[in-house]
Amino acid sequence: MAMAEAVFAQDPVIQEPTVPDPAAAEEPIEEVVVLGRFKAAATDIVSERLESDVPVDLLDAALISRVGDSNVASALRRVPGVTLVQDQFVYVRGLGERYSSTQLNGSVIPSPDLTRNVLPLNIFPAEIIDALSVTKGYSPDLPAAFGGGNINIRTKAIPEDAQFSVSLNTGWNSEHSNDGFSYAGGDDDNIGEDDGTRALPQEILSGIEQFRGSFSPNNIQRLARQSGSPISIADAQLQNRTLATSLNRNLDLSDKSLPADFEGEVTGGYRWFLGDDWDLGFLALADYSNKWRNRQRTFRRVTEPEQTFANANRTINQVTVTGGLNVGLNFLDDHEISVLGLFLRNTEDEATVAESCTLGQFNDCETTNNRERIQDTRFEQRDLEVLQVSGEHALNEDTFDEFPFLNFLRGLEGASGSWFYTESTAETDLPNETRVKFVEDLDPTTGQPVASRVRAVNNAAEFRFGELTDDVENYGGQITVPFAGSSWDLELSGGGMYTRKGRSYRQTIMGLGPSVNNPAFNNDIASGSISDVFSDSNLTNPAYGYELFVGIGQFGTESYAAGQITEAGFGKFDLMLGDAWRFSGGARWENFKQLSVPIDYLEFDGPRIPLTADEIENSTITTDEWYPALSATYIRPDFWAPEFQFRASWSETATRPDIREISSSVYIDPLTEARVIGNPNLKPAALTNFDLRAEWFWDADNFTVSAFYKDIEDPIETIQGGATEDNIVFNFINADSAEVYGIEFEGLKGLGFLSNNGWTDAFYVAGNATFSDSEVVIPATAGGNITNRTRALTQQSPWVANVQLGYDSFDGRHGATLVYNAFGERIFFAGINGVGDAFEQPFHSLDFVYTFFPSDLWTIKLRFQNILDQTTRIDQQDAQGNNVRVIEQTVGTSFLLDVKWGF
């Protein structure tokens, strides 16, 4: 603690400059550190960094507000060595999201993401955050699933005094225009919830049971005959088509001029003092956001980009709803019990129209004068509910005075303990994700469409329904006991944690269409609207040959169930020798069990789990390991700066396969639209970590340089497997080995030295940069004809940069920040068959935030995001070395206005 007190002996406050009194020139002058409102926030978190026994980076609420980030994922881009992937997952030090763990107030929580069991961090709004900590050096009190780092999201605590605020936000994006899309949804879409309009009809669920997983007319007729009530094939076909009429087919798109963004937030809290020893408080928050965005996305096949491509226009409506209540009870300042209830909803409603030359006869649009048009709708509702009870306790003098019967513990005075219990549930509902396929006739001169019709194929319309539930029970605690000598201080701590996780996903896929190339269909109704083409009367008309299929997946089962149990215990020491040396370390034991099995809910004649007992046994992951760690810190004041410390740490950790990665079921990657298939034979990867960090701290400035090296045995990598004509397939393997290493720089510097009259005292610059490299070796036995078996790790960036130029007015009423973030090109997925790896190109994000405080109660903020109008771009080289842009998507430039009143 002495280190932090030395650096922050003077509380950073805002002070107006005063004119010196000549008469006081002979009097001693006291030096005062003057920091702006936001620069003070940047220094407040340094004390926690100083006191940590391992390397850690932090962002607090004030700094997040300063740069204008709206959620946890965006904010973490500002941390050294952290990059953002798909706007929701973070990569720490070049290692994928599976190599980093995320906790909420120290607890493990589930993921509502369909494609991963790691947490998508964009679902956490910035409004609930007190601080974000990224621990880059492993400590035994952290989960052993540690590669790049551990991210802990710390929610806001109970206020010291009465607190209330209301804020309203609006905004606009350059992709807003009159060419957006909309379709008929439900009455509750504005709160991010489907009212049942899109839900899987009960008639379909009953039909699956009645017809034993198959809607084919032949099967319906066979079952009727077996039941003793034979029917004709025509009657069986009519029953099939009648089932189809229960589906929601009101899918016609209409043009929409996108409205401005809207967000509203209310927070309130209070603390009651109940006598001299007790106090009770609460903090409540409610937040609602509704945003519309247009996105343009282009796909190209690297082997024939001019002939095989798709141009998609997407309109996305994102609704977020957040509710939180934190209640805390304190006694004697030594004991605190808190209860946190948190509800997060993040819903995306998407409509897409894609024009493509990708399938079969449409591979050459210029020759055939035809192209395919695909219309998609997708409504994905993600909910997360958390109930957390926690406590912190200390054995200090006040506790012994209040409870004399505890005097037998006086020998442990100063000891402390903490505990928590968390139950959380993540649910994702994907009702009626649809796709309808059209053929467009093109004018041979202009290449523009002159006519459009629904394709006469048996899956002209596809309907996909998905439900995900992820439950986690997590509890644990630890005790710390201090000891002291004449020239040393020692803390011994130990504790344990238990985590139980259950995850299930059920998906039902159906296809609906006429008989292939039905002439009556093509001549009579194919050119109509979707609601007309698939109307009840047309569906039941035998002339068009409609048939409903269930379970049309071609790559395997789509549903699965999984479970995971982790039991852990740890012991740790923290030794301070004099004022110069600090040593800490210990070991963590973890017993880990995980199983994921595919489920075929359409199977009625055999086992629904299509695995033998041996296959289930072989796909079970069980580990029982110890994970040691050791760190040393050398402290030397006045070494270039008033405070200096040098850290070195070593540890052994693990990373385990994602639940989805070990299941042989299939899912769709939302960005690439590739089919992704798990590998039941994956095994955990083992990591050895080395870290060095030197830190210098002045009154308000600081500078840090860090170096790291990680050796990985059996790393888990994504590779491109086989593919059909219109689908890429990804799967997972254990590579032989990998290593990643790099260096990080971070600093904060006031610019007052640039002027003699002090006007540049209002400015500062802060930033960080990471330079790293990696190598992974993929064995020759790995599936697929991989082009480069020795290459960089997927999503590892050779460099990452963050720079902030800040201004704080002397009167404390104005603040401005120019924020730049960028990363070097990184492998998005590995190439096969002589084709090069696909690289995501650098994204240069430039944002500007201006904040005005007209009074102590009002705050007005202007935000400009992605000023350079950068796009997401993925390039890949073909077998001849030609560079092809295989994916490109617009993001747009945003302008946002926030107005807040509060005390």
- Cα(346)–Cα(242) distance, integer angstroms: 35
Looking at residue 45, its pLDDT comes to 67
With both helix axes pointing from N to C terminus, report the angle between 217-226 and 233-244 in degrees, rounded to the nearest 10. 120
**Best CA proximity match to 206, nearest among 241, 238, 246:** 246
Looking at residue 657, its pLDDT comes to 86
537-550: string of b/e by CB count within 10 Å (b at 16+)?
ebbbbeebbbbbbb
**pLDDT band at residue 30 under the 50/70/90 scheme:** very low
Looking at residue 727, its pLDDT comes to 57
pLDDT at 31 exceeding the cut of 70:
no
Compute the Cα dihedral for 835, 838, 842, 847 and give only its sign: positive
**pLDDT band at residue 462 under the 50/70/90 scheme:** very high
Residue 125 vs residue 202, higher pLDDT: 202
- Give the mean model confidence (pLDDT) for residues 537-565: 85
Looking at residue 830, its pLDDT comes to 83
Q: Which residues pair with 501 in a beta bridge?
A: 472, 564
What DSSP string describes 716-766?
Answer: EEEEEEEE-SS-EEEEEEE-SEEEEEEEEEEEEEE-GGG-SSSGGGGEEEE
Which SS3 state, helix, strand or coil, does residue 21 take? coil
Q: What is the pTM of this model?
A: 0.88
Which residues are CB-contacts of 502 (< 8 A; sequence separation ≥ 6)?
469, 470, 471, 561, 562, 563, 564
Residue 662 vs residue 694, higher pLDDT: 694
- Give the mean model confidence (pLDDT) for residues 809-835: 90
Looking at residue 44, its pLDDT comes to 55
Looking at residue 9, its pLDDT comes to 32
Looking at residue 474, its pLDDT comes to 97
pLDDT at 43 exceeding the cut of 80:
no
Most confidently predicted of 43-52, 236-245, 546-555: 236-245
pLDDT at 610 exceeding the cut of 80:
yes
Q: What is the pLDDT of residues 145-182, one digit of tens each?
A: 998 889 999 998 899 899 999 999 999 999 877 679 99
17-21, 227-231, 405-409, 893-897 — which is least confidently predicted?
A: 17-21
Exposed/middle/buried for residue 555 (C-beta within 10 Å: 0-12, 13-18, 19+): middle
- Cα(81)–Cα(91) distance, integer angstroms: 8
Looking at residue 383, its pLDDT comes to 95
- Cα(430)–Cα(505) distance, integer angstroms: 11
Q: What is the pLDDT of residues 107-120, one digit of tens each?
A: 998 888 776 656 77
**Cα R_g (the chain), whole angstroms:** 30
Looking at residue 12, its pLDDT comes to 33
Looking at residue 681, its pLDDT comes to 83
CB-CB neighbours of 749 under 10 Å: 16
Q: What is the pLDDT of residues 274-292, one digit of tens each?
A: 988 999 999 999 999 999 9
Please state, for a pLDDT cut of 90, what percent of the chain lies above it.
62
**pLDDT band at residue 367 under the 50/70/90 scheme:** low
Average pLDDT in the chain: 87
**pLDDT band at residue 464 under the 50/70/90 scheme:** very high
- Cα(492)–Cα(498) distance, integer angstroms: 21
